[in-house]
Amino acid sequence: MASSTITAPPQGKTPKSLRAGEGRRGMLLVAPTLVMLALVIIYPLVRAVVLSFQKDQQLVGGFFQQGGSAGFSNYTHWLLQRCPDSAGNMVSCPPGNIGSEFWGAFGVTVFWTVVSVGIEVALGLWFATIMNREFKGRGLVRAAILIPWAIPTAVTAKLWFFIYAYDGVLNKILGYFGVSPVLWTSSTWPARFGIIIADAWKTTPFMALLILAGLQLISKDVYEAAEVDGASRWQIFTKITLPLIKVPLMVAVLFRVLDVMRIFDLPYIMTGGANGTTSLSILVVQQIQQGFNSASALSTIVFLIIALTAFIFVKFLGADVIQRPPGQTKRKWFRRRPDVEAPEGAEA
């Protein structure tokens, strides 16, 4: 009986036209989104950078005139606190000038970011650990804990403003323990910590929700194996739980850090930015009333600070916002994709 030879179907290289067609179709699908992003993000950003290199309008002879090119003077105005005097020479900004408040507002913003996010991480991890357990009424607890996060920030600010009032609830409670009333919104440090408490009350549920999503991805078999090996609860927490939720935890921290660094509505409604509670965003709004181009320079500086912070988190601290399958690396742009070779012995 003669043996028959089975020939594999012809397999050649992947048609380039197919890959090109998929690429064109993909670009058509994302084109409307890219256009919208360009209109609402890229154009305002580029426009702000262009305006930051121009002088503000000046009142000359009763008429406003364009100031012309400013070079880097708007940036040195904020970073080096240089202001023009009556003769037009650049001198150190005097106290009370808005240009002298940049580094103070920067320090307050960083202080709020570090303390507020630290409190939210600790409380959020605690709440997420509790909600991850199985107990009766767990669904109700998960729904109730999200209520502060669902309340609008303006409403939260007014709520805590009334709580912090001189004859408000908080001072009434402190009075029962013999503590004299505190001017929570009229003193520097009480106002700063009062804003931190209000911010933590509102956004801790958000942190807990993201951490809970990471905890639910951990298999129970891992914990059971650790208990069989005699690991203590602290060892399980530090050696298993924290390493396995590092990515969602760092993403949650990144979101909150960027959110607090541009905080505006909470301190503005509660204190109006007075008594050492002026953030960078409040400073931008205050400068808009005096000069739009200088405010554009300040907003550009704030954008660069936030962008640098996000880069550090993503590049060095493991905040992988785009989750990839295990073993998949980041795509190298501008690298030609190798063609698929035909199997050995196949007919061309």
| pLDDT single digits (tens) 103-130 | 999 999 999 999 999 999 999 999 999 8
pLDDT at 68 over 80: no
- Is residue 291 one of the residues assigned to a domain? yes
- Is residue 306 one of the residues assigned to a domain? yes
- Is residue 221 one of the residues assigned to a domain? yes
pLDDT, tens digit (0-9, with 9 covering 90-100), for 19-49: 666 778 888 888 888 889 888 888 888 998 9
pTM exceeding 0.85: no
Region 248-261 average pLDDT: 90
Q: What is the 3-state secondary structure of 173-213?
A: HHHHCCCCCCCCCCCHHHHHHHHHHHHHHHHHHHHHHHHHH
pLDDT at 314 over 70: yes
Q: What is the chain's alpha carbon radius of gyration, rounded to the nearest angstrom?
A: 29
Domain that holds residue 188: 102-316
Q: Which residue has the higher pLDDT, 322 or 121?
A: 121
- Is residue 129 one of the residues assigned to a domain? yes
- Is residue 329 one of the residues assigned to a domain? no
Cβ–Cβ under 8 Å, residues 347 and 18:
no
Please state, in angstroms and as integers, the Cα–Cα distance from residue 282 to each residue in 186, 278, 287, following that order: 17, 6, 9
Query: Cα separation of 280 and 263, whole Å?
Result: 8
Of these ranges, 4-18, 88-102, 323-337, the one predicted with the greatest mean pLDDT is 88-102
The pLDDT, as a whole number, for residue 334 is 42
Confidence grade of residue 333 (pLDDT, cut at 50, 70, 90): very low
SS3 (DSSP) at 143? helix
In the numeric block, the tokens 């908080």 are attached to 170
- Is residue 240 one of the residues assigned to a domain? yes
Number of domains in the chain: 1
The pLDDT, as a whole number, for residue 323 is 56
Q: What is the CATH number of the domain that holds 235?
A: 1.10.3720.10
- Is residue 325 one of the residues assigned to a domain? no
Of these ranges, 62-76, 192-206, 303-317, the one predicted with the greatest mean pLDDT is 192-206
Closest CA to 101 of 274, 332, 347: 274
Region 180-195 average pLDDT: 92
Region 71-82 average pLDDT: 87
- Is residue 55 one of the residues assigned to a domain? no
DSSP letter assigned to residue 88: S
